[in-house]
Amino acid sequence: MSFEIYKKKPDSQKIFSRNHKDLKSYLNTVSELIEKETIRHIPKDEPKKYLYDLMRDYPQRGGKRFRPALVLLSCELFDGDPNDAMISAIALELFHNFALIHDDIEDESLLRRGEPTLHRKYGTALAMNSGDALHCLLHEILLENHTRLGSQLALQIHKHMNLLMHYTFVGQSLDIGWVVDNKFPNRKEYLDMITKKTGWYSGKGPCQCGAMIAGASKHELEIIGSFGEAIGIGFQVRDDLLNLIEENENESPKAGSGGYGKERGGDIAEGKRTLITIELLERLSEKDSERAREILYKSRETVSNSDVDWFIDEAKITGALDAVSKYCYEHVKFASTAINKLPDNNAKKFLAEIVNYLSLYRRA
């Protein structure tokens, strides 16, 4: 492994936020670099057809790559060199793609980033195996931090990443288990699940990782962790909303632009217990509440388009979507309050803009 890309040469300066006029330019540059480096770490030899081509599939489809950007920006926020955080950012992106492959299998999802999911293209066994290989590779890459950061900090980062993954799996187990047991969680149970799963995976974990590399204090780690957790939860709630209202399911998400890339109403077909479900069941009549539950109890292949349309219409009519949008906005406000307590620099400016970028709710 060559560390040339991480040295302070002209190209490596592009990952400093101060060298970009706006967030979109920064995210596009980071996304392209992370994709290039992610692909570069995946072997090109045999068995390409059964393994390595599959490992490259999701990374090559695009994606916003907010999580690696959070690692790099959080490092820069505390006057660290984001080049020092590149190894960890790449490892996190590999974990993200591993998680997507397994998540799609577990949820029987049809689309990912505008194309058929990996298990639909290649079969469940090969898709699952390629995901496992990505998980193996991320640990191998994290070992490179021993050379870059020194063994003590490298070990600290590796433990932190393992904690991020652990909480993701704990949250995912609840998410899946509720469907298996035909259980509808209350608000407290839902918040516990989403905090462990997306709060850590999409916010707190990446933000604290970058801050740790920069040498942030314990107090600073707590603040950036609170910020990250808030945007992570907000991101998941926003994603749940997009699943019901977005029409561009065949457009792959990209940094700094739109595109949802998953089937509209897929969460309904999968029987997902989202905050939208909780809000809707509280608002429906007894008869309609029973119908909503029956739809969520169905196997995926028996959920009709009319079932999905009725569910979405009721979520709009009853105000469930508005309530969930407001919940998302509350986390945006909390994240904005937290980030204001941290150092003033260009990285902070971009982190604040990411909060607004990820938020779906807008007051009239």
The pLDDT value given to residue 254: 54
Q: Is residue 13 part of a domain?
A: no
The pLDDT value given to residue 2: 46
Q: Where are the beta strands (DSSP E) in the chain?
A: 111-112, 115-116
> What pTM was estimated for this model as a whole?
0.90
Residue 111 dihedral angles phi and psi, to the nearest 5°:
-125, 145
The pLDDT value given to residue 8: 59
Chain CA centroid to CA 275, Å: 17
Q: Is residue 235 part of a domain?
A: yes
Domain count of the fold of the chain:
1
Q: Which domain holds residue 103?
A: 19-350
The pLDDT value given to residue 338: 95
The pLDDT value given to residue 62: 86
The pLDDT value given to residue 249: 54
Q: Is residue 313 part of a domain?
A: yes
Q: Is residue 357 part of a domain?
A: no
Q: Is residue 361 part of a domain?
A: no
Question: How far is residue 319 from each of residues 139, 182, 276, 342, measured CA to CA in Å?
Answer: 45, 25, 10, 36
The CATH number of the domain holding residue 148 is 1.10.600.10
Count of residues in the chain? 364
Q: Is residue 40 part of a domain?
A: yes
DSSP code of 4? G
Q: What residue spans of 181-283 are helical by DSSP H?
A: 187-194, 205-214, 218-245, 266-269, 275-283
Q: pLDDT 10s digit of each residue in the chain, 364 long?
A: 444 555 656 467 889 999 999 999 999 999 999 999 999 999 999 999 999 999 999 999 988 899 999 999 999 999 999 999 999 999 999 999 999 999 999 988 899 988 999 999 999 999 999 999 999 999 999 999 999 999 999 999 999 999 999 999 999 999 999 999 999 999 999 999 999 999 999 999 999 999 999 999 999 999 999 999 999 999 889 889 988 987 655 555 555 444 445 678 889 998 999 999 999 999 999 999 999 999 999 998 899 999 999 999 999 999 999 999 999 989 989 999 999 999 999 999 999 998 886 655 443 2
What is the spatial distance between Cα 183 and Cα 161, in angstroms, rounded to a whole number? Answer: 31
The pLDDT value given to residue 1: 44
Q: Is residue 12 part of a domain?
A: no
Q: Which residues contact 194 (CB under 8 A, 6 or more apart)?
A: 171, 233, 236, 237, 275
Q: Is residue 100 part of a domain?
A: yes
Question: How far is residue 230 from each of residues 53, 99, 171, 234, 285, measured CA to CA in Å?
Answer: 36, 21, 16, 6, 32
